């Protein structure tokens, strides 16, 4: 994830507390034992076609922060059209200099942290050879034939032209030798002191997308808003590190051994995953627990932490266990035997924390301000572990449809938090104050109607990083929450579970989610998805005007000639009732049924529905009541989460005085905030 909710807001607090800790000299600890379990929980056959399979070897120089690596990749053309070239991501080259697309688009800053100007990162492919399909013998050196479609300033994608097209069903075996220079930790990867978080560190092949016979490569240069997209496969990784270092990695540990030169070697195996990341640090401790999942053996949950963060480690452990158990019930059983949570050192938390990989995530949020009941640490863990469903199992294209993992996951996180910690105070339950994530997100996020880019924009096509974050995370969550509250939580949950079971182990698109929700909710939702996800403008509801006058029969001049009669208030006095008119407007792009509540001085209430799907921009209602109108409330049950509610509640002020209108506005604001954080 790019920005787990509230992590950026807490960055200054984390940084303020990230003072150095003297851990003393690094020591050699007992050699870890292999996990002794299958890479898929309970074993069983492959879940995916396993188109991209990697064998990786890496040796970490912890002083120079470099990796000497080799890679054997066996890739199968699973499409129905031939392939004439093979593109590879070389993500670490994003940190090579200030001219790269990543550095230009980020301006050298991520999550409030600036990139080091003295510690650049890069990956260099020293050798690339192809194995003969018949004999297995390695062919000529191909590294110098690599092309860089990003141009001379961006080497985050390299393309290998093939001498002969690779036909459907055929496979190719490639052998790389490469060197990584890790940057000082920035935007997910790198080192900070002795801590090494190593992600996106090896040449990784792109994904073929598109209709059968019309496939194309998805392998774009690295943008600061973009995350990752890859095919499922198997990973076998042998990692050699100083003997003092604790290692955690994707998959299960299959072997560990002492190595020459005061080193150790760890071998990991992972199946049906689409990435591999690892951590090495001499001062990490570990606590473990078990998450119970109905369809097989429990999941071992591990939290890696430094000693000063021990209290938070137990909170992260509880949150991770709860997330696995809840999401396994909501969507799809967690399929791997291990979940690893890394709690980075405080001085690395804003750059290395809050990121997801298959079976391994990093968390954040550890500050003295996160007292028990202030659940920022728990929420970051819930969010990152949740990504093992959205996008770990449901492997959507994060570059083109970032909302499909970040925003959908954000909605799911709210459900988990509510169930684990109580719906009213799931995020905050401290000193008499309570708030849940849905309400807080709505209160603190921008009005979706104010954003200049639609939710479904490609990650690199947003107007700016703030728009990307608001649309991808908050607006998506609010859109799904609106559907959930409109059609009912049980029905919506069933539709989401069907989506997860249908598209697990595949690459679903936004259209696949829309179709699943439409089928599950039993209605055509085109009217909703188009304007919400593909247009700008959102919902823009407001009470435009109101008028309430004493009711009486008509007065004036009636008839002609000798029959003309003048009717005055004496003949037709006020009846004591009221004739009222209310006009509600929607000037946004989304038009949907809206509940309107009218309250009167005698305590009575009148409700009606303005079904705005005809795209009317305003609606007028006339009515007679025995008591005067006091309040006009749009969406009284708070179903519509896609705009700011400050203009939803208008208290009729009677004399129209500006001071009273201002008081009404501030009263509405206070009421809205108290709905979010109330004693």
For the chain, the first-to-last Cα distance in angstroms comes to 32
Residue 548 has pLDDT above 70, yes or no: yes
Contact 463, 452 (CB under 8 A): yes
Higher confidence at residue 337 or residue 295?
337
Q: Say whether 541-676 and 51-231 share the same fold.
A: yes
Residue 313 has pLDDT above 50, yes or no: yes
Partnered with residue 267 across adjacent β-strands are 238, 255
Mean pLDDT for the stretch of residues 616-630: 93
CA distance linking residue 143 with residue 126, whole number of Å: 7
Considering the chain, what is the average pLDDT of its residues?
92
CATH superfamily entry for domain 1-49+292-536: Neutral Protease Domain 2 (1.10.390.10)
Domain boundaries, the chain: 1-49+292-536, 51-231, 541-676
Among 49-58, 343-352, 464-473, 641-650, the least confident range:
641-650
Torsion angle, CA of 5/11/12/14, rounded to 10 degrees? 120
Residue 396 has pLDDT above 70, yes or no: yes
Among 302-311, 359-368, 410-419, 552-561, the least confident range:
552-561
Residue 406 has pLDDT above 80, yes or no: yes
Quote the pTM value: 0.92
Predicted confidence at residue 671, as pLDDT, reads 43
Predicted confidence at residue 429, as pLDDT, reads 94
Residue 2 has pLDDT above 60, yes or no: no
The burial of 63, by beta-carbon neighbours within 10 Å (0-12 exposed, 13-18 middle, 19 or more buried), is given as exposed
**10 Å Cβ neighbour count for 20?**
9
pLDDT digit string (tens) for 204-253? 999 999 999 999 999 999 999 999 999 999 999 999 999 999 999 999 99
Predicted confidence at residue 612, as pLDDT, reads 80
Predicted confidence at residue 21, as pLDDT, reads 78
541-676 under CATH 2.60.40, yes or no: yes
pLDDT band with cut points at 50, 70 and 90 for residue 653: low
Predicted confidence at residue 670, as pLDDT, reads 42
CA distance linking residue 598 with residue 609, whole number of Å: 11
What is the maximal distance between C-alpha atoms in the chain?
A: 122
- The 3-state secondary structure of 297-352, one letter per residue: CCEEEEEEECHHHHHHHHHHHHHHHHHHHHHHHHCCCCCCCEEEEECCCHHHHHHH
Predicted confidence at residue 588, as pLDDT, reads 92
pLDDT digit string (tens) for 44-82? 999 999 999 999 999 999 999 999 999 999 999 999 999
How big is the CA angle at 538 (ends 537 and 540), to the nearest 5 degrees?
Answer: 90
Percent of the chain with pLDDT over 70: 93
Tell me the fold of 51-231: Immunoglobulin-like (2.60.40)
CA distance linking residue 448 with residue 418, whole number of Å: 24
pLDDT band with cut points at 50, 70 and 90 for residue 327: very high
pLDDT band with cut points at 50, 70 and 90 for residue 667: very low
pLDDT band with cut points at 50, 70 and 90 for residue 581: very high
Residue 659 has pLDDT above 90, yes or no: no
Residue 15 has pLDDT above 60, yes or no: no
Predicted confidence at residue 672, as pLDDT, reads 44
Predicted confidence at residue 616, as pLDDT, reads 85
Predicted confidence at residue 7, as pLDDT, reads 44
E strand or H helix at 54, and its extent?
Answer: strand 52-61
**10 Å Cβ neighbour count for 646?**
14
How big is the CA angle at 513 (ends 508 and 517), to the nearest 5 degrees?
Answer: 155
Predicted confidence at residue 20, as pLDDT, reads 58
Predicted confidence at residue 603, as pLDDT, reads 94
pLDDT digit string (tens) for 343-358? 999 999 999 999 999 9
CA distance linking residue 55 with residue 37, whole number of Å: 20
Predicted confidence at residue 201, as pLDDT, reads 98
pLDDT digit string (tens) for 170-209? 999 999 999 999 999 999 999 999 999 999 999 999 999 9
Q: Which residues contact 9 (CB under 8 A, 6 or more apart)?
A: none
pLDDT digit string (tens) for 256-282? 999 999 999 999 999 999 999 999 999
């Amino acid at each position: 994830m790019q920005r787990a909710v509230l992590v950026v807001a807490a960055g200054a607090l984390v940084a303020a507390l990230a003072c150095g800790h003297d851990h003393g000299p690094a020591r050699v600890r007992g050699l870890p034992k292999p996990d002794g379990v299958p890479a898929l929980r309970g074993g069983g056959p492959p879940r995916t076609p396993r188109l991209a399979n990697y064998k990786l070897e890496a040796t970490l120089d912890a002083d120079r922060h470099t990796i000497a690596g080799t890679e054997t990749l066996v890739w199968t053309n699973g499409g129905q059209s031939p392939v004439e070239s093979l593109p590879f991501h070389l993500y670490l080259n994003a940190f090579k200099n200030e001219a790269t697309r990543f550095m230009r688009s980020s301006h050298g800053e991520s999550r409030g942290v600036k990139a080091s100007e003295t510690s650049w990162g890069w990956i260099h492919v020293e050798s690339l050879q192809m194995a003969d399909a018949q004999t297995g013998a390695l062919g000529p050196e191909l590294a110098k034939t690599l092309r860089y479609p990003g141009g001379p300033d961006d080497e985050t994608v390299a393309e290998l032209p093939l001498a002969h097209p690779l036909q459907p069903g055929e496979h190719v075996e490639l052998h790389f030798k490469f060197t990584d220079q890790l940057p000082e930790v920035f935007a997910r990867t790198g080192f900070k002191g002795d801590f090494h978080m190593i992600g996106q560190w090896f040449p990784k092949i792109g994904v073929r997308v598109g209709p059968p016979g019309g496939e194309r490569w998805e392998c774009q240069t690295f943008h600061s808003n973009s995350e990752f997209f890859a095919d499922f496969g198997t990973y076998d990784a042998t990692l050699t590190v100083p003997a003092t270092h604790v290692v955690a990695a994707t998959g299960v540990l299959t072997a560990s051994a002492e190595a020459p030169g005061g080193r150790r070697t760890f071998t990991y195996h992972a199946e049906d995953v689409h990435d591999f990341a690892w951590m090495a640090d001499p001062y990490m401790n570990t606590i473990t627990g078990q998450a119970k999942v109905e369809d097989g053996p429990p999941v071992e949950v591990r939290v890696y932490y430094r000693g000063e963060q021990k209290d938070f480690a137990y909170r992260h452990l509880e949150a991770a266990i709860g997330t696995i158990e809840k999401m396994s019930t909501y969507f799809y059983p967690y399929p791997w035997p291990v979940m690893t949570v890394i709690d980075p050192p405080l001085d690395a938390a804003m750059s290395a924390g809050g990121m997801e990989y298959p079976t391994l995530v990093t968390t954040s949020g550890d500050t003295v301000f996160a007292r028990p009941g202030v659940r920022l640490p728990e929420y970051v863990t819930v969010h990152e572990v949740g990504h093992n469903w959205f996008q770990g199992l449901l492997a959507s294209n994060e570059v083109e449809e970032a909302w499909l993992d970040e925003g959908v996951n954000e909605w799911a996180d709210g459900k988990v938090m509510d169930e684990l910690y109580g719906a009213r105070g799931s995020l905050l339950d401290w000193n008499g104050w309570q708030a849940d994530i849905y309400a807080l997100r709505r209160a603190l996020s921008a009005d979706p109607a104010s954003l200049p880019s639609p939710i479904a924009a490609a990650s690199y096509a947003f107007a700016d990083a703030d728009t990307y974050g608001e649309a991808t995370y908050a607006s998506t969550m609010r859109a799904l929450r609106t559907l959930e509250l409109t059609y009912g939580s049980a029905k919506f949950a069933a539709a989401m579970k069907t989506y997860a079971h249908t598209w697990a182990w595949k690459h679903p698109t936004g259209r696949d989610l829309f179709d699943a929700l439409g089928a599950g909710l039993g209605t055509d939702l085109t009217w909703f998805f188009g304007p919400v996800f593909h247009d700008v403008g959102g919902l823009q509801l407001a009470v435009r005007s109101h008028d309430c006058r004493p009711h009486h029969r008509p007065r004036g001049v009636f008839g002609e000639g000798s029959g003309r009669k003048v009717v005055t208030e004496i003949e037709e006095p006020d009846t004591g009732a009221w004739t009222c008119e209310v006009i509600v407007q929607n000037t946004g792009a989304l038009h949907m049924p809206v509940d309107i509540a009218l309250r009167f001085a005698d305590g009575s209430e009148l409700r009606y529905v303005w079904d705005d799907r005809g795209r009317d921009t305003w609606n007028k209602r006339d009515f007679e009541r025995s008591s005067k109108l006091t309040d006009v409330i749009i969406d009284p049950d708070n179903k519509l989460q896609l705009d700011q509610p400050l203009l939803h509640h208008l208290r009729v002020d009677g004399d129209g005085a500006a001071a009273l209108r201002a008081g009404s506005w501030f009263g509405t604001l206070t009421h809205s905030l108290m709905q979010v954080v109330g004693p």
